[in-house]
Chain A
Amino acid sequence: MAVKYVLKLYVTGVTFRSQAAFKSLKKIMSENYKGAYSLKVIDVMKHPKLAEDDKILATPTLIKILPLPVARIIGNLSDKEKVLLSLDLVAVR
């Protein structure tokens, strides 16, 4: 049974880097995860208070809230191997 992934992606505005992170993430999840997952995208320019609450320092930052433990991944997520490792996903060959 697949555990539900709950993810938050913090970005700064609608930039090339933000878009790239979003696209990379969607690709990785769809290729390597069969279950459903929830993904929220938050723009720090529009919600600085949320950034303060979640203690975000860099963008893009991806926070994996579930499954535990909570993990944070910084960078535009283009390095697939590293992202899989940090999300605790197994690569689908």
Chain B
Amino acid sequence: MQSRTKKGALEKVFTGIRGLDEVLGGGVPKGRSTLIAGGTGTGKTVILNEFLYQGITQFKENGVYVTFEEDKRDIIKNVEGFGWNYASLIAQKKLAFVDAAALKDVTFESNQNYDLHPLIERVKYAQKKIKAKRLVIDSLDNFFSRFQNKDAIRQALRQITAELKDLGVTVLMTAEKSGPEQDLTRYGVEEFVTDGVIEVALVKGQQQFLRRMFVIKLRGTDFRSGIVEFEITNQGLVVYPKIPVQNISAKTDFQVRKGFGIKGLDDILAGGIPQGHMVLVSGNTGTGKTMFGMHFLRQGISEGENAVFVTLEEPIDQVKKTALTHGWDFNRLEKEGKVSFVTTNLIDVSNDKLLYQIISAVEGINAKRVVIDSVSSLLSATMSEEQARQFLIQLSGYFKAKGITCIMNYLSLANFGAERGQLLGSLSTSEMRLSSVTDAIIMLLFVERGQKIKKLLNVLKLRGSQHSKEIFSFEIEKDGIKMGEKYEE
């Protein structure tokens, strides 16, 4: 596979790390040096390793690892966890090490009268031996702290980067940030890495540490600005790039309608939900929101449209069990590849990761309908209203572009047994805020009348379409929802 992308005059080299090349607008600048800066444990070394590993395995570009931190043996051992066999790559002359790690032997400096020629020679020797196109240095801080003569170090770095640039070798280096607010890394290493700086950080969540990445600068064009989330899995890094909201200009298709398959309801909706709409189904507990969602999915499947069910309220098994009591076998549908389930841990939920999980599930079965149960559960302690809104905006843009129609459940805390005048209640401020990203709102309500509890439905909004504005009663029966008469007081 080719590793080059051409963007204007500056070529970029794919890193091969999932999601990262998208964030970088194509990769890192070819033949130049890019700095990965961050504190301890932020993942800098994993990035270096994967850059070399993917370079060799995906793009047939050999690589050299210059290490000041850990010695060669430890590095080889560390990457075994990812399933990367460095020993084999070394034997095949695709990977070489310049082991400059601190030695067990004691080192004295008799004076500052020395230079670092041997290091330069060793780097050149290794690069030449395997015709490497990629090289990493870990870490600059460790290098600087090793010798008193900082000028000798700077001179060596200048020479190494100059020679590698002439040879068209792409370099990644690591350095610690000297403090969270500092711009300069501790030894002012910026002069050697003027072509790109990527910062990585660990942020404390509720239950775990979350990983963040930020491109500070990158020579060339089009990198995605903003903080992105990433993870280190047992197969390497996964970066979650943001979906560029401004690129999406797709709109709802009012000619195509998606029905619920519930007699009466689809009439109220003048045929069904217009394709591409984001629909909020708002109601208190027990009003049947999840049932409406299931009807929507089932109807789609019966018309040959696959669906994704995002369950954030209940575990997947519970959802399937509930459906089964109404005679719907979601297990079988899942096996047939017609339905896909997505779920996630809501504590320390990652917006971008959930977004990507949903998109992956949708693209995996080419789904046309999605149900999210519920968006109110996204407003947990770790996702603010604004984050939830951004999440839905990105999702909405993607769905409209793909012609996907989405039902989002919302747990409304409207009063039980509303008085006559308050029948519709009012939208809470949260719902109001979300209403800018929703194209339709269906409200479900309980009402207590003469010792009976009635369930009511009202289509509050259906953007761009005619719809009945009246209130209808409905019942949840064994085989699903049945619409009733118009509700008169």
Interface residues of A, Cβ cutoff 8 Å to B: 10, 12, 17, 44-45, 48-49, 51-52, 55-61, 63, 69-79, 82-83, 85-86
Tell me if B2 counts as interface (CB < 8 A to partner A). no
Which residues of B lie under 8 Å from residue A48 when comparing CB positions?
118, 121-122, 124-125
Interface residues of B, Cβ cutoff 8 Å to A: 98-100, 103-119, 121-122, 124-126, 146-147, 152
Report whether A82 and B119 are in contact in the complex, using a CB–CB cutoff of 8 Å: no
* Bound-complex Cα distance A72 to B115 (A): 15
Which residues of B lie under 8 Å from residue A56 when comparing CB positions?
118, 122
Which residues of A lie under 8 Å from residue B122 when comparing CB positions?
48, 51-52, 56
Report whether A76 and B100 are in contact in the complex, using a CB–CB cutoff of 8 Å: no
Report whether A55 and B110 are in contact in the complex, using a CB–CB cutoff of 8 Å: no
Interface centre among B113, B119, B125, B126 (most CB of A within 10 A): B113
Which residues of B lie under 8 Å from residue A44 when comparing CB positions?
117-118, 121
* Bound-complex Cα distance A28 to B116 (A): 24
B319 to nearest A CB, angstroms?
59
Which residue of A is nearest B125, CB measured? A48
* Bound-complex Cα distance A71 to B117 (A): 20
* Bound-complex Cα distance A75 to B115 (A): 8
* Bound-complex Cα distance A52 to B152 (A): 19
* Bound-complex Cα distance A10 to B119 (A): 12
- Report which of A45, A57, A72 forms a contact with B116, defined as CB distance below 8 A: A57
Which residues of B lie under 8 Å from residue A83 when comparing CB positions?
110
Which residues of A lie under 8 Å from residue B115 when comparing CB positions?
12, 17, 58-59
Interface centre among B98, B99, B109, B147 (most CB of A within 10 A): B109
B129 to nearest A CB, angstroms?
10
- Report which of B104, B108, B126 forms a contact with A73, defined as CB distance below 8 A: B108
Report whether B121 and A75 are in contact in the complex, using a CB–CB cutoff of 8 Å: no
* Bound-complex Cα distance A61 to B124 (A): 20
B476 to nearest A CB, angstroms?
75
Which residues of A lie under 8 Å from residue B126 when comparing CB positions?
52
Report whether B100 and A72 are in contact in the complex, using a CB–CB cutoff of 8 Å: no
Q: Given A75-B110, A86-B110, is A45 in contact with B100 using a C-beta cutoff of 8 Å?
A: no
B125 to nearest A CB, angstroms?
4
- Report which of B105, B118, B124 forms a contact with A57, defined as CB distance below 8 A: B118
Report whether B114 and A75 are in contact in the complex, using a CB–CB cutoff of 8 Å: yes
Report whether B111 and A70 are in contact in the complex, using a CB–CB cutoff of 8 Å: no
Report whether B114 and A59 are in contact in the complex, using a CB–CB cutoff of 8 Å: yes
* Bound-complex Cα distance A44 to B106 (A): 21
Report whether B108 and A59 are in contact in the complex, using a CB–CB cutoff of 8 Å: no
